[in-house]
Amino acid sequence: MQRRDFMKIAGLTLAANAVPQLRGEVTVEKPNIILIIADQRRYGLSKATGYPLNTSPTLDQLQASGVGFRNHFASPAASPC
């Protein structure tokens, strides 16, 4: 076997393994994403972020079972007149 033939076979094998549709496997799972934005709430006022008082048990429970973002920025859409 020559080097060129080996490279062709290796490339086709890698491509076939990288693309599941070529093998006949089509399994696409869409993630369930729910974004909860609490208005008028300051970061750091929950037990999940280290605050000693239990100010928001429901949000803490949701964050414990999901993902909580610690580095985020907000730009208010409205401001007091």
Per-residue model confidence as pLDDT tens digits over 38-54: 777 777 788 888 888 88
Is residue 28 scored above 60 in pLDDT? Answer: yes
Per-residue model confidence as pLDDT tens digits over 6-25: 777 777 777 766 665 555 66
Phi/psi at 59 (5° precision):
-65, -35
Global pTM reads 0.44
One-letter-per-residue 3-state SS of the chain: CCHHHHHHHHHHHHHHHHCHHHHCCCCCCCCCCCCCCCCCCCCCCCHHHCCCCCCCHHHHHHHHCCCCCCCCCCCCCCCCC
- Which pLDDT score is estimated for 3? 78
Domain ranges of the chain: 33-68
Alpha carbons 10 and 5: distance in angstroms, whole number:
9
- Which pLDDT score is estimated for 19? 64
